[in-house]
Structure 1
Amino acid sequence: MSRLPLASRTTDLVGSVIDSSTSLLARQRHDIVRFAMGSPAAEAVPSQLLGHLAATELAAPDAYDYAATEGDPRLREALLAELDGTTDRTTPERLLITAGGMQGLDLAFKLFVDPGDLVVVESPTYTNGSATAMSYQAQLLEVPVDEEGMQVDRLEELVTHAGRAPKAIYAIPTFQNPSGASMSIERRRRLIELTRRWGSLLIDDDPYGRLRFAGTEVPSLHELADGDPLVLSVRTFSKIIGPGLRVGWIDADPALQQLLINAKQAMDTCTNMPLQRLVAAFLEGGHLRDHLTTQQAAYRERKLTMQAALEDWFGALARWTDPEGGFFLWVTFQESVDTEALFEQALADGVAFIPGNAFSPSKFFPNALRLCFASSTPDRIREGVARLRTAYDHLVGAV
């Protein structure tokens, strides 16, 4: 490798512990309860309905053509209709269809971040989001998260201490990955105020907002910003229909549309046309809202099951979050517990999770971990938490 003429940016390509876990688990030959990947369970994906729709939609000759870079008109129209009346309501000139939420994040950082720019991220935060910022050689500023999301008062203090305004602020405001926390409306408003004061781009990443199963809905950053060009919203169907679809969208100021198109054309020309048509048919048939109602109930049951199992097996040994939606619990142990070491033991004992340090570029969370409750049945959740306690006992007993 040392003789290859690599670009300087390759030193900042850190990859994803989360995505790498998929390959790691595929190599295992024993039974593993999978709390690692943030994805819906296989039975939660409406595969039979999608297969039925595909029999018609994918038989059309033009289903395999190139699509317009901004998205197939049929999907754009169906999506606009679906969003009407929601907190993410938008207009055609703001919409760009992407290859999943990750492409939306990549486009945002590509358009706004130069090497050395200061980018704010939550701490902990979504590994792939911070990794994307780093791939454009950003300097990251981590801001703590509590039960009300990003601590916006601390953000202001940390930016003052840094001595310069951030070029971008990356936030997951609703059912945050990995903590499950949701930003309060007061903090959302304050965050937008600071964005305007500093002239920063606010990247509003909200994959889980429609998976609320408790509490009261809070306006999205998109709605509160009311068309402010400094707010760019990233959304995806990966968490609410199926991750393998790789279909999402960006909502951005119309002045950015051509730049976004230009950047996307240099990536992949267009988002996968057959799957755009499949998603369009799913939306046109009115299936999404019924599907979400079913999944919200299932995820509530699974969250409560996981919390009860943690109480049974860990009691005073750990504490965990109590999200009102989404996929995740964030579990914190006493400082002496190394969750990276626990991961190795847990894998041997038949359960997988993501260690806390994966969610902090500065590795601030060595004694925490993320569990996904969405991807397992209640019985498997109980079994997985029991296995986690076995791994914990093996690790602590070995110290």
Structure 2
Amino acid sequence: MGSVIDSSTSLLARHTHDIVRFAMGAPSDDLMPVELLDRFAANPVPGKYTYGSTEGEPDFVDQILKLQAEHGHASAPDRVTVTTGGMQGLDLACKLFVDPGDLVIVEGPTYTNGNATALSYGAQLLEAPLDENGLVVEVLPELVARGGRTPKAIYTIPNFQNPSGVTLSLARREQLLELAAQWGAMIIDDDPYGLLRFENSPIPSLNEIDPGNPRIFSVRTLSKILAPGLRVGWVDADPSLHPLLINAKQAMDTCTSVPAQRTVTDFLAGGHLQPHLDRVLSLYCERKNAMRVALDRHFGDAVRATDPDGGFFLWVAFADAQVDTAALFEPALAEGVAYIPGPAFSTNGNFHDALRLCFATSTPERIDEGVARLKAAVDKSGAQR
């Protein structure tokens, strides 16, 4: 199963007309600290272009530990393995915990590449519903009982979930930890967006709620925070898994790019992360609000959109359940706007009447233009089931 999201990059590259790009989940160039990253990338560091340690460059691991500690998650070097982006973290999780036929609970909708990774290891996915407070943990026991077997893993995106933008409540985080212990299941805690909160107060992470819990496998990345092209992330997991993670990663790519790790190390060590966040978070909030205003202006009651406290995405559902966002995709592209159709986020082909819009990539003016183009595509296409 390939990635609809990643394939959209190649598809867009083949079009030469103006397109407002709400599809890819990435910051726009003006919200990446390009000048600083370029400066640090040019630093002459001995050994910069040779092989590095599979577990990660020691100075970078130190910066990861400091960053996590600043945000309430105390850790240790033998818990951290540097990865080539968050996707490699998900791949390592599935490689370690998922055998063919194993049951994995996933959110519905959820990140299409997360589903694809679990499926590539032979998992059977159980799609569980979301609401405004994240994964509806209360229904999991009934879903599991109905299926007749317990899950091997539970995949969750707790903060500003992709694609919905919703955040898992504290009570549900606590209940999820209890269920994982009861079932002997691993929690694959995928949190690319946690530092991108621009409204309201943070909710304690799973690691803060239950420090040292060996059933929490945390996947982190700097792709959304700094720049996706760096391909630098990490996993934080029980020390007993560290040798297995190193062996598994050595079979993938030996080590994460040493130049990229060095660049990010210098960026973090220089104290540049917080000023960067201070600058971009207000702009992300502005863009989120602009997208909600534009949806209301152009669609009114014809759509319902989530209202996230952070991250990159709005999940938009049409009031008319006959609208088919997969069928609408090509007409919308011709009209000059790109998005990801709802069924991409479900292995069961659900959410045909919904779509994901990324507000991080566009200015408020461009957002309004893109939403206007989307409305024009809907009006012209009659894209229905």
Q: Please give the TM-score of this superposition, normalised by the length of structure 2.
A: 0.98
Equivalent-residue separation in structure 2 for 1:148 and 1:272 (angstroms): 37
Range 137-146 or range 81-90, more displaced: 81-90
Unmatched 5+ residue regions in structure 2? none
Distance apart, 1:89 and its partner CA: 3.0
Equivalent-residue separation in structure 1 for 2:76 and 2:132 (angstroms): 33
Equivalent-residue separation in structure 2 for 1:81 and 1:316 (angstroms): 46
- Look up the equivalent residue of 1:366 and give its one-letter code: H
The 3-state SS of whatever aligns with 1:119 is: strand
Equivalent-residue separation in structure 1 for 2:356 and 2:8 (angstroms): 13
Equivalent-residue separation in structure 2 for 1:379 and 1:348 (angstroms): 20
Give a deviation string over 1:331-357, Cα, whole Å, max 9, x none: 001211000111111000000000000
Q: How does 1:150-299 map to 2 (within 5 A)?
A: 150-299=135-284
2:375 corresponding residue in structure 1: 389
Give a deviation string over 1:205-229, Cα, whole Å, max 9, x none: 0000000001111001122231111
Match of 1:340 among 326, 331, 345: 326
Distance apart, 1:397 and its partner CA: 8.5
Pick closer, same or farther for the CA change 1:138–1:338 going to 2, 3 Å: same
The 3-state SS of whatever aligns with 2:355 is: strand
Equivalent-residue separation in structure 1 for 2:327 and 2:384 (angstroms): 11
1:9 corresponding residue in structure 2: none
Q: Does the CA-based 8 Å contact 1:204-1:222 persist in structure 2? A: no
Pick closer, same or farther for the CA change 1:313–1:198 going to 2, 3 Å: same
Q: Does residue 28 of structure 1 match 2:19?
A: no
Q: Please give the TM-score of this superposition, normalised by the length of structure 1.
A: 0.95
Q: How does 1:373-388 map to 2 (within 5 A)?
A: 373-388=359-374
Q: Does the CA-based 8 Å contact 2:323-2:384 persist in structure 1? A: no
The 3-state SS of whatever aligns with 2:316 is: strand
Match of 2:40 among 53, 67, 84: 53
Distance apart, 1:55 and its partner CA: 1.9
1:99 corresponding residue in structure 2: 84
Pick closer, same or farther for the CA change 1:95–1:29 going to 2, 3 Å: same
1:72 corresponding residue in structure 2: 57
Q: Does the CA-based 8 Å contact 2:324-2:384 persist in structure 1? A: no
Equivalent-residue separation in structure 2 for 1:90 and 1:360 (angstroms): 34
Count of residue pairs the alignment pairs up: 384
CA RMSD between the two structures: 1.1
Identity %: 60
1:325 corresponding residue in structure 2: 310
Equivalent-residue separation in structure 1 for 2:218 and 2:21 (angstroms): 30
Equivalent-residue separation in structure 2 for 1:134 and 1:72 (angstroms): 31
Match of 2:300 among 304, 307, 315: 315
Displaced runs of 4 or more, over 2 A: 396-399
Q: Does residue 352 of structure 1 match 2:338?
A: yes
- Look up the equivalent residue of 2:21 and give its one-letter code: R
Give a deviation string over 1:277-304, Cα, whole Å, max 9, x none: 0000000000011111111111000000
1:19 corresponding residue in structure 2: 6
Unmatched 5+ residue regions in structure 1? 1-13
Equivalent-residue separation in structure 1 for 2:207 and 2:384 (angstroms): 50
Equivalent-residue separation in structure 2 for 1:89 and 1:290 (angstroms): 23
Q: Does the CA-based 8 Å contact 1:171-1:204 persist in structure 2? A: yes
Q: Does the CA-based 8 Å contact 2:322-2:384 persist in structure 1? A: no
Equivalent-residue separation in structure 2 for 1:260 and 1:287 (angstroms): 30
Equivalent-residue separation in structure 2 for 1:250 and 1:91 (angstroms): 12
